[in-house]
Amino acid sequence: MDPHFSDYSYGFRKGRNAHDAIRQVEAYANEGYIYVVNCDLSKYFDTVHYQKL
């Protein structure tokens, strides 16, 4: 695993896939969690000032 990625990330991760993410969601539901937050940050990167990076 890449130490720079969050342990909660499943997208485009070596050794992880959508089925793993679904299993984790099911585990959270079984623990009593009832809310899901989904964020799509893809458009955010269009606003990054790359010269400042």
Instruction: Identify the band that residue 45 occupies on the pLDDT scale cut at 50, 70 and 90.
Output: confident
Question: Are 13 and 5 a contacting pair, CB within 8 Å?
Answer: yes
Burial per residue of 12-32, b for 16 or more beta-carbon CB atoms within 10 angstroms, e otherwise: eeeeeeeeeeeeeeeeeeeee
pTM metric for this prediction = 0.61
The SS3 assignment for 50 reads coil
User: What domain count does the chain have?
Assistant: 1
Domain hosting 35: range is 1-53
Question: Are 16 and 10 a contacting pair, CB within 8 Å?
Answer: yes
Would the pLDDT of 1 be above 90? no
The H-assigned helical ranges of the chain are 18-31
